[in-house]
Amino acid sequence: MFNKTTLKNGLRIITVPQKGTKALTVLVLVGTGSKYEKKEINGISHLLEHLLFKGTKKRPTQLSISEPLDRVGGVYNAFTGEEYTGFFAKVDAKHFDLALDVISDVYLNSKLGLEDVKKEKGVIIEEINMYYDHPSLYVQELWNKVLYGDQPAGRSIAGSKESVLKISRQQLSDYMKSQYVAPNTVVCVAGNISSDQVLKKIRNYFSKIKTKKPFGKFPVAEIQKKPELLLHTKETDQTHFCLGVRGYSLFHPQRYAQEILGLILGGMMSSRLFIKIREELGLAYYIITKTSSFTDTGYLVTQAGADNQRSKKAICIILKEYKRISQEKVPLKELKKAKDHLIGKMALLLEASDAQASFCGLQEILEKRILTSKQICDKINKVSVNDVLEVAQDIFQPSKLNSALIGPFEDKKPFKKLLNF
């Protein structure tokens, strides 16, 4: 069970005591990401995430940050999403003070050195190059682009090479001062802890955090009347594609039905598309259907890599399965399997302190509320056969269908002709 405390300055502190573990995780989340960025500073959230580990006044180099945690076998990292950025350290519980000291120092006191800014831009450009060279990764960026186009939701979290190179130290500093503030921050500690002691120490470490009101994210415009396809021509041995539909946000009452729908289609090794496309027909090595829900948008997408000559066949089979599941009720046995999978997977994941911290922290930063795993299980178990059918009928429509594709093709028309029901 978690405990949540909101300080007068707006800082939210969540503690999640766990029995039977020797570990703990300190996670700090800030409610900002790529959906908060203007085009000219696209990638600034991600660049900041990198830079915060490069040095503080107390720890002036990257080595002085990483070495103390390495000495105790700590696991530490940071991540950036569309709507949040996070920094964490997972350690043996006896090293709690070290983990909190390092992560709070990184979050509050980064020096953003000019030389560090210059070098880290080079690192991020190589990260962008890496994604570009891996079609199975790059097609996911194209998927967001075909969904949302030239607006923050449709741009890369890492930014473009051009935008990253143009971001100045002053812009980094201004963005950090605006967003890395108490009302926009959640500190979550999970694991072998005493909530009272943890709360007292966090109050002390974050006593000087700024308290101004942050700016909000840009609204997402979703305007679509017909199927859309984005083709990236590249010499590849496989055609990598994302094929899916616009879906539901985190606050939609049918979000769990949408998630179960995705599992039934392609979220398990015994799911429909995995069995059909990989096991029966041997059309692809990897194929997966997943759902993603944000505070204002959502989607269901199937991704696969197929032989160039047989990619159209794979796409047709996926579309056929989309149509079938929107016309025929899912058998109760199949629905139960998906529910049990979702509940069982959550139980396994939440054994770890870092997963517990993310589970509670991300709900708080995105939804401003935290449901327990039991409450979520109850919602999952309430999903009916009719719910799944209604969701499928709602989202599997031509006006919501999109595809992003990478392969050695010059003309997208033959693929676009496939996008109908």
Under 8 Å between Cβ of 86 and 24:
no
Q: How many CB atoms lie within 10 A of CB 250?
A: 16
SS3 content of the chain, % helix, strand, coil (to 5): 50, 20, 30
Q: Is the dihedral of CA 330, 332, 333, 338 positive or negative?
A: positive
For 114, list phi and psi in degrees, rounded to 5.
-55, -40
Q: How far apart are the first and last CA of the chain?
A: 46
How many residues in total does the chain contain?
Answer: 421
Q: How many CB atoms lie within 10 A of CB 112?
A: 19
Under 8 Å between Cβ of 60 and 30:
no
Which residue numbers are catalytic?
49
99 CB-contact burial (10 Å; exposed 0-12 / middle 13-18 / buried 19+): buried
What does the DSSP 8-state code read for residue 412?
-
Residue type, 258: Q
**Residue 290: closest CA among 303, 277, 280:** 303
In this structure, the dihedral spanned by the alpha carbons of residues 137, 261, 374 and 89, taken in order and rounded to 10 degrees, is: 0
Q: What is the residue whose two structure tokens read 């979550």?
A: 188
Q: How many CB atoms lie within 10 A of CB 204?
A: 11
d(CA 249, CA 252): 5
